[in-house]
Structure 1
Amino acid sequence: MRVLIVDDDVLVTTSLKTIIEASGEISVVGIGDSAIQAVELYEELQPDILLMDIRMKESTGIEAATNILAKNEQAVILLLTTFSDDDYIMEALRIGVKGYLLKQDIEAIVPSIKAVKNGQSVFGHTIMERLPHLLQTEKITCSEEHKVNEKDLSILSLIAEGLNNKEIADQLYLSEGTIRNYISNLLEKLELRDRTQLAVFYYKNIYVK
């Protein structure tokens, strides 16, 4: 697995490189120190994962991620920051990054990189717990409007809780293959890109405060 790290703090990039490569399964193919470099290095190196800070010189990681995703829809971007800022979280969700972690969660970095590479979205318990607050809306009884049935609602609620396919399958007594099919159908039906957007949809349209 090939990872590009971008952070304007040299100590951070050095530490991250050491932590990531210590796993023996991931190689750091490049290091940058600005949002501009993030865009340039991504195009040059085409890494499997871009691990990037948000607050950097001249421009933000959010802006860099937006530019990268505009040209590379399949780009896998994991934002790593010291700031648990509501606006940043919402913007990260909106543009479609695959993860948003706080830098103090050191032990979660390598597992998160592996998770997003396997198609999961990772936003950490702290951030997932705040989603209902960030997406404050009354419940919209819109099953028919969105063509969502009861089984879909069950799966959406478990995705919103952060469960993976196996955990959802265990909860609903279904096979993982069946869950994958349900999720693929949901993404197509709701015209969404990934399970993070499914979680956002759930909290905006279905969740009861």
Structure 2
Amino acid sequence: MPIKIIIADDDSLIRESLKIILEMDKDFEVVSCVDDGLKALNYCLNHKVDVALIDVRMPIMNGVQASYEICSRTKTKVLILTTFDDDEYIVDAIRSGAKGYLLKNNSPENIKNAIKMVYEGNSVIQDVVLDKIKEGIRKRDGSKIDMSMFTKREIEIMDLISKGLSNKEIADKLFISEGTVKNYISSILDKTSLQHRTQIAIYYLNGKEKNQFK
């Protein structure tokens, strides 16, 4: 079964180019192309969509708002496609529940790989986007992390998540089961009030830069 995708971007050239690129691959099916976030939300509410490719800056409803609504009201996973001047939105996009963050100038192969990773439940953050996220968090949140609430194993797992490892890869590296890894991640999410792996990675990297994680 191909991955069902909706593309939301107010730039018709980008929209149509992505559609052509993805539909050349039998692993993908572009079920709709829309030019604003509200249309993307309405489509996801009424149709089965596996992954939504969402631009950040769009009329009527921007990508951050659309991501929040789509993630909270449907089972569709969101992959944000952004540009260098969109960084003021990215931290908010993390909180909205989006699972991936890529720049639009990525190669078609990178975009396709990111879609597959997000579809499989993993998080994808490009290095240059990660830097912008960390900078945004530094500007907005100067609070100190309470290290005492984490076990040594939880810190190890946060470190590996921040390096992009999947649950299976973490399990193999630490010689524990995937189920155990999921339990640790659930514990970390509960302790931090975060919502998903991407937020754990940013939380850990931000604390590490402040020498709170060693």
Normalised TM-score (structure 1):
0.85
Tell me whether 199-208 or 46-55 shows the greater mean CA deviation: 199-208
Deviations 1:119-167 (A, max 9, x none): 11111122224444333367946232xx311111111112122222243
Q: Does the 8 A contact of 2:87 with 2:133 survive in 1?
A: no
CA–CA separation in structure 2 for the residues paired with 1:154 and 1:164: 13
Per the alignment, residue 21 of structure 1 pairs with 23
Q: 1:155 to 1:34 in 2, by over 3 A?
A: same
Q: Does the 8 A contact of 1:128 with 1:161 survive in 2?
A: no
Once the two structures are TM-superposed, the CA of residue 36 in structure 1 deviates from its matched residue by 2.2
Tell me whether 30-39 or 76-85 shows the greater mean CA deviation: 76-85
Aligned positions of 1:1-209 closer than 5 A: 1-72=3-74, 74-106=75-107, 107-136=109-138, 140=144, 142-144=146-148, 147-205=149-207, 207-208=209-210
Q: Could you tell me which amino acid in structure 2 is paired with residue 143 of structure 1?
A: M
Task: Give the secondary-structure state (helix, strand or coil) at the position aligned to 1:85.
Answer: helix
Deviations 1:88-117 (A, max 9, x none): 111111211111111101331111111011
Q: Could you tell me which amino acid in structure 2 is paired with residue 198 of structure 1?
A: I
Tell me whether 196-205 or 2-11 shows the greater mean CA deviation: 196-205
Q: Does the 8 A contact of 2:171 with 2:181 survive in 1?
A: yes
Once the two structures are TM-superposed, the CA of residue 177 in structure 1 deviates from its matched residue by 4.2
Q: Does the 8 A contact of 1:139 with 1:206 survive in 2?
A: no
Task: Give the secondary-structure state (helix, strand or coil) at the position aligned to 1:179.
Answer: helix
Runs (5+) with no aligned partner, structure 2: none
Q: How many residues align?
A: 206
Once the two structures are TM-superposed, the CA of residue 64 in structure 1 deviates from its matched residue by 1.9
Q: Could you tell me which amino acid in structure 1 is paired with residue 21 of structure 2?
A: I
Q: 1:133 to 1:34 in 2, by over 3 A?
A: closer
Task: Give me the identity figure in percent.
Answer: 37
Tell me whether 153-162 or 134-143 shows the greater mean CA deviation: 134-143
Q: Cα RMSD (Å) of the superposition?
A: 2.4
Q: Does the 8 A contact of 1:17 with 1:28 survive in 2?
A: yes
